[in-house]
Amino acid sequence: MSLNIEQIRADFPILHQQIYRRPLIYFDNAASTQKPRLVIDAIRHYYEHDNCNIHRGVHYLSVKATEAYEEARKEIQRFINAKSTHEIIFTKGATESLNLVASSFGKRYIQRGDEVITSIMEHHSNFVPWQQMCLERGATLRVLGINEHGELDLDELKDLLNEKTRLIAVTHVSNVLGTINPVKEIVGLAHQHGIPVLLDGAQGVSHLPVDVQDLDCDFYCFSGHKMYAPMGTGVMYGKEKYLEELPPYQLGGEMIKDVYLDHTTFNELPFKFEAGTPNVEGVMGMKAAIAYLQQLGMDNIAAYEERLLKYATEQLSAIEGIKFYGTAPHKASLVSFIIGDIHPYDAGMIIDKMGIAVRTGHHCAMPLMDFLKIPGTVRASFAFYNTMEEVDQLIAAIHKAKAMLT
């Protein structure tokens, strides 16, 4: 089924505005996606009808809010095909999910001399928590490299794996290069050695159908706001066998079973990892966002975004002096590039004045920028509400930037 883009655009109120007296073109979807009316309405509905703290009350509203919250957990379980709702932990985003795993996994499993493998293409959120945990525990962080297309080097991964490796933490999709990593292969390889794999799914869930049982990954972390859901929402998926073993990340209300003067017993899964009052309104919005994505169909979304990517890549390639970063055949819908000698920031400023939102800079991936020996890139990242005509506008804006800056 092909998507009706005009109808989809009508679902996103924010897209219908003028910026510098031009129609807004939003190509910063890898940073955060816009929200359909359905999501905004779900938040409003929650506050107008159901608002209450959850899990604690016997009264009508508390029970209603709790049921809605737990229903959302079931939806997310189905969305990523987890085995059980016990494996779905709500967080405030991918960053918190990744910190949770790094902290708890580190405490439980990492000792002096152990090794964790990550990659050079990671977002700081899937790099710094591992780096710091390894420093604290006297472990070593091994960093997997990439080839000239921006793909992970699996032969190097085979060489890095050894009896000291305790975990591999890599991204599903690179937020800078767009590369869709061969994560199923990586999981297969790691499991041959009995090593668990964490996937940073922040850029995965919004573009691709994700089936955690099929991937067989041990942890999958993502943010709501990059998948059309509200800010401050996220998920940490973990296999139950690990979540049972890991110590809690934060302590306080909700995550306890019994508290005594000298010790505390912890709640069962998933509540053991959900200390304090959660972002219930956000989770209501996330449930609505998932319903919206499912209605469009993740396969349809992926197919349309691939067309956008192909068109943008072709059009951009015709611009003299453009250099792409990330040319893997298997890519999500974003392009990172530098135009001749023009600093990405200067290009971004001029493109912005044309009403087009692109991102410039290091994209929270400084180790990758150092590896590529560049200060940053211009990144245009597409969503299913973007159009080929908008891509044409970007090309015109780049020509203008070139004319002004060279």
Residue of 134, 217, 221, 364 with catalytic role: 364
Please identify, using beta-carbon distances, which residue of 118 and 126 lies nearer to ligand PMP: 126
Please identify, using beta-carbon distances, which residue of 227 and 350 lies nearer to ligand PMP: 227
Binding flag, residue 282, ligand PMP (CB under 6 A) = no
Binding flag, residue 331, ligand PMP (CB under 6 A) = no
Q: Which of 29, 34, 118, 125 binds ligand PMP (CB under 6 A)?
A: 125
- Least Cβ distance, residue 290 to ligand PMP (angstroms): 17
- Say how far apart CA 324 and CA 337 lie, in whole Å: 4
- Least Cβ distance, residue 359 to ligand PMP (angstroms): 9
Contacts for 27 with CB less than 8 Å, ≥ 6 apart: 356, 357, 358, 380, 381, 382, 386, 390, 394
Does the annotation mark 364 as catalytic? yes
Binding flag, residue 206, ligand PMP (CB under 6 A) = no
Binding flag, residue 279, ligand PMP (CB under 6 A) = no
Please identify, using beta-carbon distances, which residue of 28 and 50 lies nearer to ligand PMP: 28
Side-chain-facing half-sphere of 404: CA atoms under 13 Å: 14
User: Per-residue x/- marks for ligand PMP, 1-40, CB under 6 A?
Assistant: -----------------------------x----------
Q: Which of 29, 77, 181, 203 binds ligand PMP (CB under 6 A)?
A: 203
Q: Which of 119, 175, 336, 393 binds ligand PMP (CB under 6 A)?
A: 175
Binding flag, residue 123, ligand PMP (CB under 6 A) = yes
Binding flag, residue 367, ligand PMP (CB under 6 A) = no
Q: How many residues bind ligand PMP (CB under 6 A)?
A: 15
Binding flag, residue 360, ligand PMP (CB under 6 A) = no
Q: Which of 39, 202, 205, 243 binds ligand PMP (CB under 6 A)?
A: 202
Binding flag, residue 100, ligand PMP (CB under 6 A) = no
Please identify, using beta-carbon distances, which residue of 86 and 123 lies nearer to ligand PMP: 123
- Say how far apart CA 284 and CA 73 lie, in whole Å: 10
Binding flag, residue 200, ligand PMP (CB under 6 A) = yes
- Least Cβ distance, residue 215 to ligand PMP (angstroms): 16
Q: Which of 68, 94, 288, 308 binds ligand PMP (CB under 6 A)?
A: 94
Residue type, position 124, single letter: H
Q: Which stretch binds ligand PMP (CB under 6 A): 65-73, 93-101, 144-152, 265-273?
A: 93-101
Q: Let me know: does 187 contact 153? Beta carbons within 8 Å.
A: no
- Least Cβ distance, residue 92 to ligand PMP (angstroms): 8
Q: Let me know: does 178 contact 334? Beta carbons within 8 Å.
A: yes
- Least Cβ distance, residue 186 to ligand PMP (angstroms): 15
Q: Let me know: does 354 contact 393? Beta carbons within 8 Å.
A: yes
Q: Which stretch binds ligand PMP (CB under 6 A): 127-135, 198-206, 252-260, 267-275?
A: 198-206
Binding site for ligand PMP (CB under 6 A): 30, 93-95, 123, 125-126, 171, 175, 200, 202-203, 223, 225, 364
Q: Report the catalytic residues.
A: 364
